[in-house]
Amino acid sequence: MLRQNRAGLLLVRKLHCSVVVMKPFDISQLARDNSSEKRNQGFNIESLIKNRMDLETDKVVSENATAAPNRFATMFDKEKRQAQKKTGPRRNSESTHHHNAGPYPKKPYGKTNSGSKTRPEIKTRPHKRVVRFEFKTGSDQAQAALKSIIAKVHALSTNYKIKFIDPVSGEVKLSNLVDIANSTDLREAGLQLLPCKEGDLPSIKKVSTREMLKLYSDELAAEKEKALLQSGSVAAQRALNQRLKSERKKSAAKLLNIFWNISLGDLKNQKKTELANRLCKGETFTIYLKRKGREVATPEGEGDEESETLNMYDIRRSLAHDEDALNIETQRRELISQQLFCILDEMPCTYEVEGQKENKLKVTVSPRQDAVKQSISPSSEECTLSAKDLKKQRQLQKQKEREELLKLKKQEKEDNLDSLYSFKIED
């Protein structure tokens, strides 16, 4: 009985303390109280008596627990909020500091002494220049070409700052593309974007409208061809191959190979005519005097190992491989080179000679602009004719020769028949 009364008193006391302190009651403590350690302890009557000192301490603990600050309760307290409305926020308060926080200082929004409401001050930023390109002149194609140049410049310089080459003085000046484009009459002139280094301002110069349109059309054609090649077009691949072949022919047309074993008659007749035709067209070309072992002339500085001096390979067809044959070949090369120089001296051109006769000679020939064209083997009419016209004339001439040959053959047959008939009649 005493043990049961003791446990009941302890339970009542703990419930009372939890209610006063506003803390949840931990039921697990009952298990701790009923542990074996407390069972072994003896009965203590003093624990059942709650003296005056214990009551006073419990009262102090309960007052401290109820007086603990609650920030949500104080924040939403009606009396304090009404008092703040009457007095207004303090200047150095946290709310004012939070209101003024930002990139620009702001004044507290409220009534001033005069009674008018003040608005926060906003600093105005400097006004940016409005970029406007005007397309009032020129055709649609010219305007499209100018727009493509503007797009390229914008990719290099977003503010359209450029280096403009003055067409009169040729000086390079810093300018803006807006001013240059708007002041250009596309009916008379156009613009061209020059290649520049990475990080530099783009360079612009004035060109003719025709040249600007040609560059723009070439650019569009290249983009179209690239797209067709990526899609696997066979026609585009064939056109590309044809263009590459024509470019190779043009580059090969600027070279003229003359071998050391050429005869003097061919040099005076055939090669002289070919040189005259090229000079009449105003071409600048290069002549290579070399041995027949190489078909393509190598530029300077390349193939030094193959370009050995005159040796037995140059006279491999000779029967006697001795010094006499070597001297004969040297004299022959001297004679051919001197004959070529005499032919060039008779023509209205200038030339420069490089190399050695023991290996090969490189002769760069350029026509003289001021010199009067002399009457060389090809007539002046042949020089003015184009390549197609010359080809047609040659074809007509060959056709005439064939017709004449056919006529001669027919006459021979008829004569043979007449002679045969006359022979039979006589018999």
CA distances from 402 to 344, 388, 390, 415 (A): 36, 21, 19, 20
pLDDT digits (tens, 9 = 90+) for 359-397: 888 888 888 865 544 444 444 444 455 566 777 777 777
- Residue 303 is predicted with a pLDDT of 43
- Residue 27 is predicted with a pLDDT of 52
What does DSSP assign to residue 334?
H
- Residue 325 is predicted with a pLDDT of 74
- Residue 103 is predicted with a pLDDT of 53
H/E element, 20: helix 2-21
- Residue 78 is predicted with a pLDDT of 67
Q: How many CA atoms lie within 13 A of 234 on its CB side?
A: 0
- Which parts of the chain sit beneath pLDDT 50? 20-21, 23, 25, 43, 45, 48-52, 92-96, 98-99, 294-310, 312-314, 316-320, 372-383, 423-424, 427
- Residue 367 is predicted with a pLDDT of 86
- For residues 162 and 202, give the distance between their C-alpha atoms in angstroms, rounded to a whole number: 5
- Residue 215 is predicted with a pLDDT of 92
**246 phi and psi, to 5 degrees?**
-65, -35
- Residue 217 is predicted with a pLDDT of 92
What does DSSP assign to residue 365?
E
- Residue 85 is predicted with a pLDDT of 62
- For residues 311 and 314, give the distance between their C-alpha atoms in angstroms, rounded to a whole number: 6
